[in-house]
Amino acid sequence: MDTFMEFYFDEVFDNMDRDCLNGRLKRKELVEYFNTVIAGCAKGQNKSDDATCKNFVLSTLRYHNNRKSANGDVCLMGKYHNLLYIAVKLAFDWSLQDNGTVAALLDELYACEGTFERIFLGAIFGTSAPYFLAGWKSDFTNKEENVHALVYFLDHATNANLEYREGDKTYRFIDVPLESCGKASPVRVVIQMGSSEMLMILLRFGAQITGDGVSTNPVESILDRMKEYKRMYPYELVGCLKLILRAIPSVNFSVDKDAMKHLGLPTDYNYQRKVALEKYGEILEDHLIPTSRCGLKPVELKHLCRCMVREMLWKNFELPFGIQKLPVPLSVKKYLDLFDD
């Protein structure tokens, strides 16, 4: 496999046009070609599909790094960079299990782009929408395959304890900002879309709802949108709200204390209660926010325990699959994994 790939890169790929892989159809053709090569080499060399796919991905990374090094450690982009996405598609197609190899592929993508939006956007918006956002189309067949691919790479990134630094901030794979979406985190984009199914996936893997550098509170953004519907709340928004309330200890409303100075309130006044009642009173009356999650009543101990257990699992890169390792009943595992409330 290694010999074939070296010959292919030196004698074939180097002579191809620089923009030959810009189109999705061209990348698809090359993926199909390499699928045949991997299957043939695995059979001819009597090796497993996983080992053969691993060798292909490693050969791709070596070629990319060699061309990058020759250019002063700056990616040449064009076909040289798109080749990494050929490896991404093949790693997924063959369910490559070697965690180190998949992690190295993700690291190389981040080193060149500083984002993973070509893995996330297809799962969030579908196959064609990314073209209008970022000028490219997803390499995965449909939205369902995009979602499966995202989960595949989330799993590998978690197992490899991947973290990425940008300035003074450190992000995990799941929280790396999306350049084409105003550098918002994937979970914030999903919340803005009101996609409860995608939100469930991201929250289970430990996506951080706050702390992405965007000033607006995502919970308040949902509540403000719900108010516009005059108590005819869309199902997707309600679903997103309920999922978020399972993942955070309580809602922390934004409070402008300076605007309330004229009221002469005591220093220990419960501003959260005031905002909840005055601004979102109708939503509270409709029981969409438990009184124990918005400052009106103490938070349930059971819920606080869930949040603490999930935080410890997150710190140890064990969300969500580490939940199944805990010596607790199945009902508690479902509760910890956000399926129940």
Answer yes or no: is pLDDT of 38 > 50: yes
Average pLDDT of the segment spanning 290-319: 94
Q: Look at 179 and 30; give whichever has higher pLDDT.
A: 30
Q: Give the mean model confidence (pLDDT) for residues 160-187.
A: 93
150-154, 211-215, 225-229, 333-337, range with the lowest pLDDT: 211-215
Averaged pLDDT for residues 243-261? 82
Q: How many CA atoms lie within 13 A of 58 on its CB side?
A: 14
DSSP symbols for 138-206: -SSSSHHHHHHHHHHHHHHHHHTT-EEEETTEEEEGGG--BGGGTTB-HHHHHHHHT-HHHHHHHHHTT
Name the band, by pLDDT with cuts 50, 70 and 90, for residue 36: very high
Q: Is the pLDDT of residue 213 over 50?
A: no
Is the model's pLDDT at 22 over the cut of 70?
yes
- For 292-312, the DSSP string reads GGTTSSPPPHHHHHHHHHHHH
How many helices and strands (H and E) does the chain possess?
16, 2
How many whole angstroms separate alpha carbon 269 and alpha carbon 317? 38
Residue for token pair 């519907």: 229
Neighbours of 313 (CB within 10 A): 19
pLDDT at residue 100 in the model: 97
In the prediction, which pLDDT does 133 show? 64
| 197 phi, psi to nearest 5 deg | -65, -45
pLDDT band at 195 (very low <50, low <70, confident <90, very high): very high
Tell me the domain boundaries of the chain: 1-113, 114-214, 248-336
Q: What percent of the chain has pLDDT over 90?
A: 70
What are φ and ψ of residue 41, in 5° steps? Answer: -65, -40
For residue 317, pLDDT over 70 is answered with yes
- Bridge partner list, 169: 166
Tokens representing residue 305 in the block: 């325990």
**How many angstroms separate the CA atoms of 87 and 106, rounded?**
10
pLDDT for res 263? 64
**Can you read off the two tokens belonging to residue 115?**
């984002």
Give the tokens for residue 320.
């969500």
Task: Decide if pLDDT at 235 tops 60.
Answer: yes
- Tens of pLDDT, residue by residue over 74-98, are 999 999 999 999 999 999 999 999 9
Please count the other Cβ atoms lying within 10 Å of the Cβ belonging to residue 185. 26
pLDDT tens profile 94-122: 999 999 999 999 999 999 999 999 999 98
